[in-house]
Amino acid sequence: MRKKIAAGNWKMNLTPDEACDFAAKLAPKTEGGADVVFCVPFVSISDVVKAVKGTGVSVGAQNMYFEEKGAFTGEISASQLIGAGAKYVIIGHSERRQYFSETDETVNKKLIKALEHGLIPIVCVGETLKEREDGITIELVRIQLKRGLLGLNPSEAVKTVIAYEPVWAIGTGKTATSEQAEEVCAAIRELLEELYDKNTAEEIPILYGGSVTAQNAGELFAQKNIDGGLVGGASLKDDFEVIAKA
């Protein structure tokens, strides 16, 4: 069976002290179901790793760079994330694509580097509202994923996590229906089988993200091809306990 994952993306929220306090209180409440990941700001990684020690909760980063080291002011490397205690890293989130010029090509470079260092990458794909209205959602997601996974063999691909996040549903309160989310996640699974093989496709977890709440999590995660969630705003609330257990 594919592992179930509840990943919280804390984005640019909470100071290190606030993050530690919140993580220490929330982590024990989320145990007993899915693999739980807190993806926190860089400055809080080390402290949150200590705060959740012994709970089974993993800590992740929200981005990384594809070079080992060097004159790249403001960036952070995979080895630095590992050194801080991170286990997961989000790659290609729509906010990175929208505000910081992330492309499918940079996603691919970061993904390859993350795998080299043993980080578990959560690779994000998804369409804007206009792209959905234009009827090109499936085609767009396939292109994003094909380019993002370029050069990976099956043994590398199974170490990744895919997150489908419709851009129009992130932070808007609008959520894809369970049918809409399942349609795209099923198409992702189909593409993974085309790129690799059925067994590989069946092993890779696919998450849904986009205004996931305690109220809609159960229905979303009950879908055949949805293996959990990449959760934004609700991961900073006690509601995340309900989402993780869903």
**pLDDT single digits (tens) 164-222:** 999 988 878 787 899 999 999 999 999 999 999 999 999 999 999 988 999 999 999 99
What is the predicted pLDDT for the residue at 190?
98
What is the predicted pLDDT for the residue at 170?
81
Domain that holds residue 186: 5-245
What is the predicted pLDDT for the residue at 32?
78
What is the predicted pLDDT for the residue at 173?
79
DSSP-H helix ranges across the chain: 16-26, 45-51, 78-84, 94-100, 104-116, 129-133, 137-148, 154-157, 178-195, 198-203, 217-221, 239-245
**pLDDT single digits (tens) 8-64:** 999 999 999 999 999 999 999 998 789 999 999 999 999 999 999 999 999 999 999
Residue type at position 47: D
Examine the pLDDT at 135 and tell me if it is beyond 90. yes
Q: What is the C-alpha to C-alpha distance for residues 160 and 241, in angstroms, rounded to an integer? A: 24
What is the predicted pLDDT for the residue at 180?
94
What is the average per-residue pLDDT within 153-168?
96
Would you please indicate which residues are annotated as catalytic (active-site) residues? 93, 165
* Concatenated DSSP letters of 14-56: --HHHHHHHHHHHGGGGTTSSEEEEE--GGGHHHHHHHTTTTT
Structure tokens at 242: 């309900």
What is the predicted pLDDT for the residue at 179?
95
Which residue do the tokens 């693999």 mark?
Answer: 35
Count of structural domains, the chain: 1
What is the predicted pLDDT for the residue at 172?
80
**pLDDT single digits (tens) 51-107:** 999 999 999 999 999 999 999 999 999 999 999 999 999 999 999 999 999 999 999
What is the predicted pLDDT for the residue at 176?
85
**pLDDT single digits (tens) 106-123:** 999 999 999 999 999 999
CATH classification of the domain holding 103:
3.20.20.70
What is the predicted pLDDT for the residue at 1?
76
